[in-house]
Amino acid sequence: MHKGQIPHPTRSHESAKKATLQIRFVIVGGGASGLSCAVALRRVGHHVIVLEKGPDFIGPSKNRGIRMSPNMTKVFNYWGMRDKVDEIGIVTDRVIMSRLETAYLLGIHCWEHEMLQEAGGEFIAICHGDLRDMLLETARELGAETRTNAEVVEIAEDCRSVRLASGEVLKADIIIGADGSQGICRALVVPQDPPKTTGIMLFNSVIPADRIYADPELRSLVEQEQVSQWAWFGHERASVCFPIGPSKDLAWYFFVRDQGAQEGWNDVLTPEQFAPYVSDSEPRLQKLARLARPNRVRMMQRDFPESWVHDSDRLVVVGSAAHPWPPGVIYGPSMSLEDASVLAKLFSHLRNEEQIPSFLYAFQNLREERCQKNRELDIGNVQFMMEPEGEGTAQRDTMMRTKHDQGRNVLAGDDEDSNVAQWDQNRELFAYDAEDEADNWWVQWGLLQERSKASTHEDIGMFSLDISVGIS
């Protein structure tokens, strides 16, 4: 256990409540969402096949760092996967905030023990590819079938089967569209889908630890008493870096105003091409820029579909297919894991096929507002760091530094402070418990619907039994 790690309840794979009726889910897409759904649905006993069009499940995400927030690590804690997470991730203790142009220290915020305890998880930095690998391994251990080079090219009108590029047809009771923001499943629920810019462009890279350690000034970014994330607040620019996993390779994000670029992950810059964007930044950032080969990614966003459930009532979209998330912010992957957790918890109550539509619509109801709100918050966090210089930012910086000089956490304190107000919204987000949300729906609505359908005394008895197991 990591020093200071908070104790957390575990609901092991074996002890998870299994569905009475176990059906076949075909998951289109083997990204973080598809693989999370595979783990979650196998935990509750359903049959799962994951179809990934790429030659492997990792793809170009091998070399990218992400920050898992407490609401995400909480799910892994519940699922009894914490040991696996600790092998590949690193718990971060605090964030150090500075001005981007001058390195002037604004302050430090250590994650409060009370907040982490309430959330039931911690901040853990991890390589995106390792996350996918861990989910894949667990899905397979639990008996999920997983296939690569398996592109789904057609979905039957009734959504009861998919056809692969090879011509093979696979039958499904339910299709999970986890094929990202530009996939075939999403196109079935949102035919027209023009992306909009967030106004931000991201340079994203991971710099190997040996190159960081070779420079004493850069070494200080990873060699701290406590594991630290770094955040730089600048005029129309911002930056974040953090070590990922035990290797201490350094993930580095640099944000500028959108100047037009590709949306995907294929636009790789040389240090020379990157240098002009980083000019006038503090020396450590300029040094990082000389070591980086960043992807330039335009941070786009798409609308959420009005309905996440296809008219056939047999296909539902999840993850980026349901709530496309711009890259480089924090909460996208955590929303995918929460999706999986809620969906599986609902389907752990499956006793007959008539329940399927209500479970799928309940899934959207439970997830939509939260994802919408958190996407705004996530983008807002970056906007907040890169606000143009002026009276407002000067005041913000003075408040932070004053607290720091008083020996306080910079984001703790009075509500008047806009920094604190921004942080409070983030804190709220961490406390969410995906499985509890699904259980509450079952108790308040699901069971009521079942009761109204049940005609025999015996049936009512069985549903009552289901509640006690479900919320234990």
Binding site for ligand FAD (CB under 6 A): 28-34, 51-54, 59-61, 64, 66, 128, 151-152, 178-180, 183-184, 204, 265, 319-320, 325, 327-328, 332-333, 336
Two structure tokens written together for 7: 């104790």
d(CA 341, CA 359): 13
d(CA 400, CA 105): 9
Least CB distance from residue 332 to ligand FAD, whole Å?
4
Tokens 């106004």 locate to: 199
Of residues 206 and 350, the one with the C-beta less far from ligand FAD: 206
Burial class from Cβ neighbours inside 10 Å (0-12, 13-18, 19+) for residue 466 reads buried
d(CA 232, CA 239): 5
Of residues 206 and 447, the one with the C-beta less far from ligand FAD: 206
Of residues 29 and 89, the one with the C-beta less far from ligand FAD: 29
Of residues 377 and 447, the one with the C-beta less far from ligand FAD: 377
Of residues 107 and 324, the one with the C-beta less far from ligand FAD: 324
Least CB distance from residue 88 to ligand FAD, whole Å?
15
Of residues 29 and 243, the one with the C-beta less far from ligand FAD: 29
Least CB distance from residue 162 to ligand FAD, whole Å?
8
d(CA 432, CA 330): 16
Tell me the pairing of strands 174-177 and 196-207.
unpaired
Enumerate the β-bridge partners of residue 412: none
d(CA 351, CA 44): 12
Chain centroid offset of residue 143 CA: 24
Least CB distance from residue 264 to ligand FAD, whole Å?
8
Least CB distance from residue 167 to ligand FAD, whole Å?
14
Enumerate the β-bridge partners of residue 406: none
Question: To which H or E segment does residue 426 belong?
Answer: helix 418-430
Least CB distance from residue 449 to ligand FAD, whole Å?
29
Minimal CB distance to ligand FAD: which residue? 31
Least CB distance from residue 154 to ligand FAD, whole Å?
9
Question: What one-letter code names the amino acid at 322?
Answer: A
Least CB distance from residue 152 to ligand FAD, whole Å?
4
Of residues 310 and 349, the one with the C-beta less far from ligand FAD: 310
Least CB distance from residue 199 to ligand FAD, whole Å?
17
C-alpha to C-alpha distances, 39 to 33, 34, 261, 280, 297, nearest whole angstrom: 10, 9, 35, 46, 30
Of residues 175 and 447, the one with the C-beta less far from ligand FAD: 175
Contact 442, 139 (CB under 8 A): no
Of residues 52 and 282, the one with the C-beta less far from ligand FAD: 52
Q: Which long-range contacts (CB under 8 A, 24 or more apart) does 208-217 make?
A: 208/249, 209/243, 209/247, 209/248, 209/249, 209/250, 211/291, 212/248, 212/249, 212/250, 212/291, 215/287, 217/283, 217/284, 217/287
Of residues 19 and 200, the one with the C-beta less far from ligand FAD: 200
Least CB distance from residue 239 to ligand FAD, whole Å?
15
Enumerate the β-bridge partners of residue 229: 95
